[in-house]
Structure formats: C-alpha cells, structure tokens
Amino acid sequence: MSKIYYTKPYITQLEVDYATDAALNGWGDKCYDYIYKFEDSFKKHLNVSYAMATSSCTGAMHMGLSALGISHGDEVIIADINWIASAAPIVYLGATPIFIDILNDTWCIDPSKIEQAITPKTKAIIAVHLYGNLCDMDAIMAIAKKHNLYVIEDAAEAIGSIYKGKKAGSIGDFGVFSFHGTKTMTTGEGGMFVTNNLELYKKVNILNSHGRNPENPKQFWAETIGFKYKISNIQAAIGYAQMTHIDELINRKREIYFKYFSLFKNVEKVSMNPNPTSNELVYGYWMPTLIFDAELEFDRDLLIDKFKEINVDARVFFYPLSMLPMFDEVRNNKVSLNIYARGINLPSYHEISDGQIKKVADIVVEYLS
Ligand SMILES: *Cc1c(COP(=O)(O)O)cnc(C)c1O
C-alpha cells in the first residue's frame, strides 16, 4: 500500500525550472537574483516593509534576538508546548526561556499567564502560532507595551494565517518563517526574517554578513562578530517559484483541514484545531491536529502503531519544552502537561486524496470504538 505521508513538499515544473536556471546561470553578477525576487514576493505577500531570506528559521530567530540586544541574564517568555527551535536561540545568546502555559483551544501562549512571569530581567515575548493556530496578539501586544517588552512572532507554521486583517508574522517587532521540507511552502531548508523596522532590518543585515556593513565600502571589514545564515540562490529559486502559487499551497492546507473537520465533527471525544466562526481570524492549518478528550484512556503509541500497520504517517504533538532534560520542570503548566500526550498530527500533504483522508479518519474511529 502506498504510504500516506504526514507532509511532503508540493513541487511543480516551475520550481524545477527556476532551480535549474539558478544552477545553470545564477552565478557571478546573478548570484542574488532569485534571493531578491524571493524576498520581494514574500514581502508583498505578507505586507511588510523588509524581508531577509535565511538558511533556516532558527537562524532568522537567532539573528533577530541578537539584534534586539537579548543577551546574558535576560529572560524571554515563551509557551511551554513548542518545537525546540523556537527556544534554542534564546539559549544560544545566554538568555533564559521562561516557559508558561498554553490555552486549551488554540494551544498557543496563555496571555493571562504572561504578566505574572515578568521580572526585571524580561526582555521579550515570543508568540508562536502553533500549527498555524493564532496567538491572541491584541492581548500580547498590550502586555508588551505596558511592560516595554519586545514581541517576536514565530510564524514558521503560520503562513496563511491572518489575525484581524494582518498576516501572522507581520504584527510584532519581527517575525520568522521556516521553509523546511515539512512546512506549507518549502525551499528544502530555509527561513525568512521579516520586520517593519528599518533599524532592526539593517542590524540583522549586518549580522547576517559576518558583521560587514553594506554602507561601508571597505572590503572584508567586519565591524562586529556576526553570523552567516544566508540562503543560496538555488534554494531561493525554489522559494520564489513556491511564492508564485502560494495561495494554492495555503488553500489546499485549509481544504484538507476542513475535510478532516467534517469527518470528525460528529465523532465524540475528539477535537481539532479551532474552526473560527468570525472572519477576523483565518487559520493556515499547517497541521490538522486531533486532541483526544482527557477522560478517554488514550494510548497514543497504540494509535500510532495502528497507523503504521497500514503505512500511514502520524506525528505526536510537541512536548512541553520544560520536560526536556536541559530545562527545569514547570509543574504549574497544567494545560501543557495535560494535553501533549493526547494529541496527534494528521497527514496533510498537498496531494493527499479524499480517500486517503477518509482512511485516516476511519482508523481513528475504529480505534475509538
Ligand atoms: C519548523 C519550525 C522552526 C524551525 O525552522 P527551521 O527552518 O528548521 O530552523 C521554528 N519554529 C517553529 C514553530 C517551527 O515549526
């Protein structure tokens, strides 16, 4: 039986053509052409002033936090349930991630828990739009303003998500995206740093060039210790091709979510990503996710084994980061600790068929009975 992947890039002839062109011709004077096109198209899509393509989202986050001056002894507030990539750059800079609880419905940071976590060392809040679900940005921005903190949006999973008319990633001081092969759009590996703040953009631009300032004509002159998180022209060629049909990539993810949603809406004791009734919130639905009710005796490994038997990929919900050996446990994060073992992500690659979606749903229903 052919495998039902949980994610897989959606690559057309255009991606192949642009990548081939970059490999054949994109050298010398043309070695940045696709990078600039990619950045421009992303900027337009997101409606932001500045965008810089990077080799990863992790790198974009590392440079952005560094440019904000986050360093030794600082604290950065972030939701406990997350992929490690959102928190690791805090640690790279010698700062400490402060893990707080999530909301029960969006699985994103609980704004009502932020203020009690703020100390004189707090510098920033990282709002991660988990699985494409949206953080409560109004509440987060208001708290940040009151306490003079930066807000960073990790929108790696949220291309296609729109908060009150603004695209996810365009609201905070800066936003970051990932184009890893599992994401809604891909460059293989890759990321994007976006901001509306010219000063911040300039700083990150210098950091990403090993500390070289483009305004200084002196060759090979570094004015600070920087980084090197550049994307290649060949990867950017694939990214630019993906941007020419980004709406198709996003819409298909939504379609897949709604197919699952209609199959599960009458199934008791399971719930999915929020399905907003207001059009103020639009979700990108990178990962259609199922949460099994707490009263069920749910055995995640058993269900995943059932999936594996018929060659279906499924993935477990992210762990609370505070459970990992490098961090201290936070027993107070009750929602995070209660929910993570009850969640799985469902296969949602663009070319999945209705029959395959039905098959996935059938396994779950069979498991529940
Ligand atoms: C994928 C992902 C990242 C990391 O992206 P890379 O491009 O692999 O560095 C960061 N944050 C979130 C929320 C992600 O899903």
Distance 178 CA to ligand 1 centre (A): 5
Determine if ligand 1 sits within 6 Å of the CB of residue 176: no
Q: Is 100 helix (H, G, I), strand (E, B) or coil?
A: strand
Closest CA to 94 of 123, 129, 126, 52: 123
Residue nearest to atom 2 of ligand 1 (CA): 156
156 CA from centroid of ligand 1 (Å): 5
Point out the ligand 1 atom lying closest to the alpha carbon of residue 191: 7
75 lines ligand 1 (CB under 6 A): no
pLDDT at position 279 = 81
pLDDT confidence of residue 1: 66
As a whole number of angstroms, the distance between CA 202 and CA 223 comes to 13
Q: What's the pLDDT at 66?
A: 98
3-class secondary-structure state, position 291:
strand
CB of 54 sitting under 6 A from ligand 1: no
Beta-strand ranges (E) seen in the chain are: 50-54, 75-79, 96-100, 122-128, 150-154, 162-163, 166-167, 174-178, 191-195, 270-272, 281-282, 289-292, 315-316, 343-345
Which candidate in 37, 123, 167, 183 is catalytic? 183
- 284 C-beta closer than 6 A to ligand 1: no
Q: Is 79 in the pocket of ligand 1 (CB under 6 A)?
A: no
Is there a catalytic annotation at residue 183?
yes
Closest CA to 97 of 132, 129, 70, 66: 70
Atom of ligand 1 nearest to the CA of 286: 15
Structure tokens at 50: 């500045």
Q: What are phi and psi of 135, to 5 degrees?
A: -70, 160
Residue 252's nearest CA partner among 364, 143, 348 is 348
CA of 56, closest atom in ligand 1: 7
Q: Kindly state if the Cβ of 158 falls inside 6 Å of ligand 1.
A: no
Top mutation candidate among 54, 55, 83 for ligand 1, by most atoms within 8 Å of CB: 83
Return the domain boundaries, the chain.
13-243, 246-368
Q: Output the CA 71–ligand 1 centroid distance in Å.
A: 21
Strand segments, DSSP code E, in 261-369 are 270-272, 281-282, 289-292, 315-316, 343-345
Interval between CA 179 and ligand 1 midpoint (Å): 8
Q: What spacing in Å lies between the alpha carbon of 355 and ligand 1's midpoint?
A: 30
> Would you give per-residue pLDDT tens digits along the chain (369 residues)?
689 999 999 999 999 999 999 999 999 999 999 999 999 999 999 999 999 999 999 999 999 999 999 999 999 999 999 999 999 999 999 999 999 999 999 999 999 999 999 999 999 999 999 999 999 999 999 999 999 999 999 999 999 999 999 999 999 999 999 999 999 999 999 999 999 999 999 999 999 999 999 999 999 999 999 999 999 999 999 999 999 999 999 999 999 999 999 999 999 999 999 998 788 999 999 999 999 999 998 999 999 999 999 999 989 999 999 999 999 999 999 999 999 999 999 999 999 999 999 999 999 999 998
pLDDT for 278: 80
Ligand 1 pocket, mutate which of 178, 193, 285 (most atoms under 8 A from CB):
178
Thinking of the domain 246-368, which architecture would CATH place it in? Alpha-Beta Complex (3.90)
- Any atom of ligand 1 within 6 Å of the Cβ of 345: no
Equal CATH topology for 13-243 and 246-368: no
Beta strand residue intervals within 25-178, DSSP E: 50-54, 75-79, 96-100, 122-128, 150-154, 162-163, 166-167, 174-178
Model confidence, pTM: 0.97
Question: Which fold does the domain 13-243 belong to in CATH?
Answer: Aspartate Aminotransferase; domain 2 (3.40.640)
